[in-house]
Structure 1
């Protein structure tokens, strides 16, 4: 059930045509905006029943707000929430907002929201502005030859994988079932299958995207090729993606699960990660997420381990399983089983709480990983007064053999093609119960990562790449792409959005000039 070359070409040719958006005359829009005086009222006029205004009485508004992962995003109250059900709805909303922008109605700033899993306030929501909630764009359609899936940008992975599992198919996508498609795919996207196929963004054949003008276009290797490459890492800077057409491959159940170990294994585990990340011996079927987790100050080691073949206990993981264990859920199961397991291990304890990500990149140095662990442990101790603190330091391999696969599909803008070293991504996921502790936790974690970066530089292991999907609000992932890629993104932005709508009127996320 592999995708034939001719089928791929046919799909791209079909999708290379611009879709005719149904848009009103611009003078009608301007008249309505002047008459109503607000963008929300005008959006309600052009999109009846799809604009929600009131936190207290409107269930559409309430449900949208409560479906954000973090307390920080739930606490923000837009003037209205637009819930489109088609690409044409998105096109019309952007057309109205761009017209308002041309009329200097600056109060019409907006946010773009897929599933809303980025934790920081304002990433995918906006106080007093308009939030475009794409969650109803949840199409999952598999082509007749089983080679391509068309995925609506509002999907979560838990809605996609059961459909693919039933057909013994898979795609390069997220590893947690309640994470959204839109954010992950536009920021890179690491998968259990990335050792075989690279980043999720590099396995998109075609993007359907709404531009600032309201035009709906397709971007792929033959139509809008510059935009196509820019969207592979470009986040929310260039338009609103409404559909991803992605490459599928044959995949049945495979081996994986969660391995829990005592913290006394720490040094041996860090040594294992450093050796595992070596491209010369890397097993492309193996995937590893190692979590050093502190629950109210008590540390454990929790590994999410997958091997994308139905082979129990492959040799690559033998050193890890030789260490003392507390629990082990290893099994052969479909992809959705593992993504649901990871979501279940964290979701119920972090949903609706204050949450924070921060990240850095280094070469796989045992000395640095051990020293950074000590810095994290000290930070957790300093935050012992924070109510119900959950703190996780995650190490994830990013070997050259994984990220170098991007070149085979035309490249992306992440900037990793400048390098040939193996890397490890360090990620902090922090969760706590009370908003009153937000400031102290943010300050402590920011200081931790400033100290970690300084330490990595002093040890000669630091790398400037900052993975956008894990970045804290003070970090600058676009700068980490390198000046050549930033300049390329700015050039494409000027081509498709000459008025700068997505740079000035969408303040959330990491902007090209400042991110």
Structure 2
């Protein structure tokens, strides 16, 4: 066979393969659309199925990070738990992939998006406060901004997310760190019950007494066991708080680091919190720190060192808790491809903070060689008692870590070109590994600390997030979902 004939044969073979692949995609899409139609025909008239071209379809598929988005065959907005159950049975029968979207804040591809049926929980949007029980029942279609604003009316709040734009679902099913966590623990520690639609369509209220295994697995185990439509959480009396955002130029970086190290070494008041983030974009460094005290005024001058540093911007006052959350918007970088990583820390020392500064500068320059737009290294200190606020074990945090609550560095990289996905993920993993080893070498006991699943990048091993609990979580999943219906959706799968 001549070279020309060989090339021609290769091209023709490639075209045949491409045609076959395209036909397969079309066949699968047709199959998925058939499932969409079956769901529309079977559910109540209050629930809706939408297709490409409608504004609601666009909203249902929209994600904070473009890396988390896919194009679904249709979107489904169930109006009640019973219709969720009908859809799950049809999805399982047809073996159609699906995704469940609450706030759509995961940057990981396929975690809350799909080429199949996109389930959007927007209709589950109520907040019902029970003053006698001191609880709030919250729909999974809400973002925390809505929840905090509604509970403001009653002078109470719940332990949710610390930034605006974040959905209820991923927080209460994955962990949930916030400014109130030193006092009350994580979101998962404050769950009283969950309405769960099981893979067989059954709707059940899951509590620590009614089903302790599922109650354990759902708090930290995400959507492995079915679809949660509402969650009931403990509420806490909430007065006005003091705090907000203060921003510094790069020239103040070392002074800010010193002030943060002094704060975390001296302040043990659980009502006080500092959250500092350093952004690097196009060679420009910006340092933003959130100061928080859970009262209208802060005592003993605990923030005076940070307040005294010359700064470029300040938005600090006595305000409603819901208003303070707005000072750190999560949507400022929406639309980028993104990754998170998470580095556990026992304490932010001066040397640790200097190391983070060096990492920011080094990887900021590395990312500028590609389509990297923005990186952030966020310093989030907590008290060691962080994981001691619940007597009921949860999938995350693992009971293995219960004796030691970790502070952490949250790593965020944002970029534009999908072709850079692998290199960005590699650089983020490289930086996170270096910082963790730096802490270990400095004598901090974090070598075996588990990674927060909501900030874990794609490909993270289950054992690195759940430790020895993986086998028991797999058993719980197998018992409630023997047909592995939830295996048709994305995320961390047991």
Task: Give the match for residue 47 of structure 1.
Answer: 43
Matched, 1:254 2:241: yes
Distance change >3 Å, CA 315–CA 475, structure 1 → 2: farther
Q: Determine if contact 1:209/1:216 at 8 Å carries over to the other structure.
A: yes
Deviations 1:42-89 (A, max 9, x none): 21221366454532x2332122123x1111233x11122111111111
Change (3 A) 1:37 1:363: closer
Q: Could you tell me which residue of structure 1 aligns to residue 366 of structure 2? A: 382
Q: Which stretch of structure 1 is more off in the superposition, 167-176 or 467-476?
A: 467-476
> Quick one: structure 1 residues 410 and 442, their matched pair in 2 at CA, closer, same or farther if it must change by over 3 Å?
closer
TM-score by length of 2: 0.86
Asked if 1:337 is matched to 2:323, the reply is yes
Q: Which runs of 5+ in 2 are unaligned?
A: 1-30
Q: Which residue in 2 is equivalent to 1:184?
A: 171
Paired residues of 1:273 and 1:364 also in contact (CA < 8 A): no
Aligned residue number for residue 295 of structure 2: 309
Could you say which residue in structure 2 is the equivalent of 1:430? 413
How far 1:163 sits from its partner (Å)?
1.2
Q: Tell me the SS of whatever aligns to 1:364.
A: coil
For residues 289 and 37 of structure 1, do their structure 2 counterparts lie closer, same or farther at Cα, with a shift above 3 Å needed? closer
Work out whether 1:208 is the aligned partner of 2:195: yes
Residues 304, 476 of structure 1: alpha-carbon distance in 2 compared, 3 angstrom cutoff? farther
User: Structure 1 residues 493, 318: closer, same or farther in 2, change over 3 A?
Assistant: same
Give the paired residue count: 460
Counterpart-to-counterpart distance in 2, 1:440 and 1:221: 43
Offset of residue 274 of structure 1: 4.3
C-alpha separation between the residues in 2 aligned to 1:78 and 1:185? 25
> Which whole-Å deviations, capped at 9, do the CAs of 1:180-225 have from their partners, x for residues lacking one?
0000111110122111111111111111111111111111122112
Separation in structure 2 between the aligned mates of residue 84 and residue 378 of structure 1, nearest angstrom: 47
Q: Does 1:473 align with 2:461?
A: no
Deviation, 1:281, is: 4.5
- Aligned CA distance change for structure 1 residues 422 and 244 (closer, same or farther; 3 Å): closer
Matching residue of 2:389: 405
Question: C-alpha displacement at 1:433, in angstroms?
Answer: 4.0
- Superimposed CA distance per residue, residues 422-480 of structure 1 (whole angstroms, 9 cap, x where no aligned partner): 53211112223444544443332233223334444444433432111111113336533
Instruction: Provide the rounded CA distance (Å) in 2 between the counterparts of 1:388 and 1:474.
Output: 21
Match of 1:229 among 216, 226, 237: 216
Look up the match of 1:7. none
The Cα of 1:320 is off from its aligned counterpart by 2.2
For 2:311 and 2:483, the matched residues in 1 are separated by 58
Q: Which residue of 1 aligns with 2:86?
A: 92
Q: Distance in 2 between matches of 1:337 and 1:426?
A: 25
CA-based RMSD: 2.5
SS of aligned partner of 1:426:
strand
CA contact (8 A) 1:40 1:51 kept: no
Shift of 1:298: 1.1
Tell me which residue corresponds to 1:511: 493
Specify the alignment match of 1:80 in structure 2.
74
- Residue 116 of structure 1 aligns with which residue? 104
Native 8 Å contact 2:158 2:235 kept in 1: yes
- 1:138-191 per-residue CA deviation (whole Å, 9 max, x = no partner) reads 111112537111100111012111111122111111122210000011111012
Any idea what the Cα deviations from partners look like across 1:328-385, whole Å, max 9, x if unmatched?
Answer: 2110111111112212xx52x3222222211111221522342243123201111224
Inter-CA distance 85–45: structure 2 relative to 1 (3 Å threshold): same
1:238-387 map, 5 Å: 238-277=225-264, 281-312=267-298, 314-343=300-329, 346-347=330-331, 349-366=332-349, 367-387=351-371
Q: Distance in 1 between matches of 2:373 and 2:33?
A: 45
Determine the structure 1 residue equivalent to 2:114.
126
Query: C-alpha separation between the residues in 1 aligned to 2:304 and 2:374?
Result: 30
What is the 5 A alignment of 1:148-187? 148-187=135-174
Aligned pair partner of 1:447 in 430, 434, 448: 430
Which has more radius of gyration? 2
SS of 2:221 mapped into structure 1: coil
Which residue, out of 473, 479, 486, partners 1:495?
479
Q: Secondary structure at the match of 1:330?
A: strand
